[in-house]
Amino acid sequence: MRKLLLSAAALCLAAQLATAQIRLPQPSPAASVMQTVGTTDVTVKYSRPSLKGREVFTSALVPYGKVWRTGANQATNFTTTTDIMVGGQKLAAGSYALLSIPDQSQWTLIFSKNLSTQEANYKQEEDALRVNVTPSATAQKAESFGIDFSDVTDSTANMNISWGSVRASAPLRVDVNANAAASVDKAVADKPEDPAVLQAAANYNLSKGRNLDQSLSMIDKSIGMKETFRNVWTKAQILAKMGKFADALPLAKKAMSLGESSGDASFPFFKDAIGKGVTDYASKIPVAMPAMPGKKKK
């Protein structure tokens, strides 16, 4: 009898485990959208409720003037890998719960430091940022709630929140130059003995005209570890940027020679630029004027 009871209990437990592992469709399925803006990754994780014949902004569904989790189920999560500007205001890198207060003429987007906050436990003192955005009517009705990104450039994008016939868009902006510079500086700090990293950092600084003295030291270190036509050419360009054309010219010629004998398949892509550099640097070196013969003394 005891064995029968144990067997029955084991069967019940197995049935419960099997039931717990069954994946069923959800009324508001989970969704995730990621957009890279410049060097910044912006990710939003949310759930997508549907209208199902209802009007969205009503007292029964999403009332105007009230805090809304901006989705369904768990709190909507917004993550940015670097500092970012939202509607002209700074939001520090990190993860936040994204809530909103919809209204007919204006929405308030809320980025809360409490990642699990929802309507019932929301506290304004936990806000990291509040931004006002203007909603607009859409030509096509969205059955399912959605968040997406549009008008993406290397430093800007719009984050769009859409449901029904309403869309609210928040302009995002990142400081690409500051982020890239920070990334370069970190790479050099992490791998100060890597010649490829040193060259890449020097090339970036050269392209931005920043830290040229430091870049010259980095490229000298790279050349000392492994001389290539690439790092010699980079040094020539840095010196030219500093106005030292007499020093840049022989290095540009050396880069040409190294490239032609290297067998590097990428050299043809650099050859014209190096040749142009040789010509330009030579033209900018002052030509010494011959000394004027003095008058003979009687």
Q: What is the pLDDT of residues 245-271, one digit of tens each?
A: 999 999 999 999 999 999 999 999 999
Q: What is the DSSP string of the chain?
A: -HHHHHHHHHHHHHHHHHHHT-----SS-EEEEEEEETTEEEEEEEE--B-TT--SSSSSSS-TTS-B-SSSSSPPEEEESS-EEETTEEE-SEEEEEEEE--SS-EEEEEES-TT--TTT--GGGEEEEEEE-EEEEEEEEEEEEEEEES--SSEEEEEEEEEEEEEEEEEE--HHHHHHHHHHHHHHH-TT-HHHHHHHHHHHHHHT--HHHHHHHHHHHHHH---HHHHHHHHHHHHHTT-HHHHHHHHHHHHHHHHHH--TTHHHHHHHHHHHHHHHHHTSPPPPPPPPPPPP-
Q: What is the pLDDT of residues 142-186, one digit of tens each?
A: 999 999 999 999 999 999 999 999 999 999 999 988 888 888 889
Determine the pLDDT at residue 19.
52
Residue-level pLDDT at 289: 60
List, for residues 65-101, the tens digit of each pLDDT value. 999 999 999 999 999 999 999 999 999 999 999 999 9
Could you tell me the pLDDT band of residue 54, with boundaries at 50, 70 and 90?
confident
The listed CATH number (3.30.750.24, 3.40.50.150, 1.25.40.10, 3.40.1190.20) that belongs to domain 177-283:
1.25.40.10
Domain-wise residue ranges, the chain: 26-174, 177-283
pLDDT value of residue 221: 93
> What are the tens digits of pLDDT across the range 10-30?
555 445 545 557 777 787 899
Average pLDDT, the chain: 89
Q: How confident is the model at residue 6 (pLDDT cuts 50, 70, 90)?
A: very low
* Percent of the chain whose pLDDT exceeds 70: 90
